[in-house]
């Protein structure tokens, strides 16, 4: 049996009697209003697209952390050398 | 929905066009509602999950892939929301209470015998469908009621095409039993055939 045969199977055919029920119109109106509000707030929220900011942050953060680590290690090394008289 | 129209709508959704959202909403709102109501067997839960599905579309609109298929995308979100909800509430799948009252009976009025018979058949099918496990219901709803091709339904359910074929076969057999018929012959899978 192929998957297409399911559409002509009597049990499957009987599923076609199922009525399409309408959702609550008041709830539907609230949903669309909420979605439109979210879309409007996104349009007016930021002139810079969020993904661009995220990419910039992803590049800057590791560089900053690496720089601070380098300064710290250099200072530790310098103090150790000084301690042993070099 | 024509593929070209769908691609145009996806493009406009990516730009945050509210008219594109309205068009998609008009096309899928009732269908998603019926899918969720029959999957969850509760209209109030379906309404909540439906609203969340649309909010997810709005939230992800700008990040949609240009070639996104809206139907499968929406059904995937709706299905995942249902399972998240079920897990969070630890819903007992075996509990079939309330399934008979899923849809209101409508205004009682005298009607011809054919109409009464059709309503009775529909109630019987609704009851049989509601008595199946959620994994069977979703497969039957997606493929038979919502008209998704099995490959799309497989994507929605996050399974392979072969797994979907097996699940369809099982769901069909269980529905037949629930409708009081003899289960159809099981499909012999290639992997089950002795070499």
> How is B55-117 classified by DSSP, letter by letter?
HHHHHHGGG--TT--HHHHHHHHHHHHHHHHHHHHT--TT--TTGGGSS---------HHHHH
Mean pLDDT of A42-63: 74
Task: Enumerate residues 74 to 93 of chain B having a beta carbon within 8 A of any beta carbon in chain A.
Answer: none
CA distance B34 to B62: 27
Residue B46 near residue B37, CB atoms below 8 Å: yes
Q: Output b/e per residue, B67-76; b: 16+ Cβ within 10 A.
A: ebbbbbbbbb
CA distance B126 to B169: 19
Q: Is residue A53 less than 8 Å (CB to CB) from chain B? A: no
Task: Enumerate residues 93 to 112 of chain B having a beta carbon within 8 A of any beta carbon in chain A.
Answer: 103
pLDDT in tens, B153-162: 999 999 999 9
CA distance B39 to B83: 10
B22 pLDDT band (50/70/90 cuts)?
Answer: very high
CA distance A39 to B55: 10
Q: Is the dihedral of CA B101, B103, B109, B114 positive or negative?
A: negative
Report how far apart, in Å, the C-alpha atoms of B112 and of each of A16, B109, B115, B119, B121 are. 21, 10, 6, 11, 14
The interface predicted TM-score of the complex, written ipTM, equals: 0.72
The stretches of A1-86 forming alpha helices (DSSP H) are: 10-14, 25-45, 50-83
pLDDT of residue B45 exceeding 70: yes
Nearest to A38 among B58, B140, B187 (CB): B58
Measured from the Cβ of residue B108, the count of other Cβ atoms closer than 10 Å reads 6
Q: Which range, A11-25, B48-62, B102-116, B178-192, is most confident?
A: B48-62
- Specify the residue for token string 């969020």: A50
Q: Output b/e per residue, A51-70; b: 16+ Cβ within 10 A.
A: eeeeeeeeeeeeeeeeeeee
Structure token digits, residue B85: 């909800």
Question: B154 to chain A: nearest residue by CA?
Answer: A3
Q: Three-state SS for A47?
A: coil
The rounded mean pLDDT for chain B is: 83
Nearest to B145 among A15, A23, A49 (CB): A15
Nearest to A12 among B47, B57, B144 (CB): B144
CA distance B195 to B193: 6
- Specify the residue for token string 């240009």: B66
Q: Which range, A40-44, B46-50, B118-122, B146-150, is most confident?
A: B46-50
Nearest to B168 among A3, A40, A43 (CB): A3
Q: Is residue A22 less than 8 Å (CB to CB) from chain B? A: yes
Residue B144 has what DSSP assignment?
I
Q: Is residue A15 less than 8 Å (CB to CB) from chain B? A: yes
B194 pLDDT band (50/70/90 cuts)?
Answer: very low
């Amino acid at each position: 049996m192929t998957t297409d045969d399911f559409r002509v199977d009597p049990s499957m055919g009987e599923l076609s009697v199922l009525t399409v029920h309408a959702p609550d119109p008041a709830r539907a109106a609230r949903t669309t209003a909420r979605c439109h509000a979210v879309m409007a707030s996104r349009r007016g929220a930021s002139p810079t697209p969020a993904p661009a900011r995220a990419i910039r942050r992803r590049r800057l953060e590791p560089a900053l952390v690496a720089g601070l680590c380098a300064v710290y290690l250099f200072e530790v090394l310098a103090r150790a050398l000084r301690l042993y008289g070099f | 929905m024509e593929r070209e129209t769908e691609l145009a709508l996806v493009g406009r959704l990516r730009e945050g066009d509210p008219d594109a959202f309205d068009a998609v909403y008009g096309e899928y709102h009732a269908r998603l509602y019926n899918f969720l109501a029959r999957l969850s067997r509760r209209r109030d839960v379906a309404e909540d999950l439906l609203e969340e599905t649309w909010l997810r579309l709005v939230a992800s609109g700008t990040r949609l892939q240009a070639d996104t298929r809206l139907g499968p995308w929406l059904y995937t979100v709706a299905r995942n929301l249902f399972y998240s909800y079920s897990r969070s509430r630890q819903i007992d799948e075996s509990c079939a209470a309330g399934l008979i009252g899923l849809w209101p009976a409508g205004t009682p009025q005298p009607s011809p015998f054919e109409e009464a018979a059709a309503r009775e058949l529909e109630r019987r099918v609704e009851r049989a469908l509601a008595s199946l496990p959620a994994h069977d219901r979703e497969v039957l709803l997606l493929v038979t009621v919502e008209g998704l091709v099995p490959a799309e339904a497989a994507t929605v359910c996050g399974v392979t095409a072969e797994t979907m074929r097996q699940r369809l076969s099982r769901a069909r057999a269980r529905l037949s039993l629930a409708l009081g018929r003899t289960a159809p012959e099981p499909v012999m899978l290639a992997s089950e055939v002795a070499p």
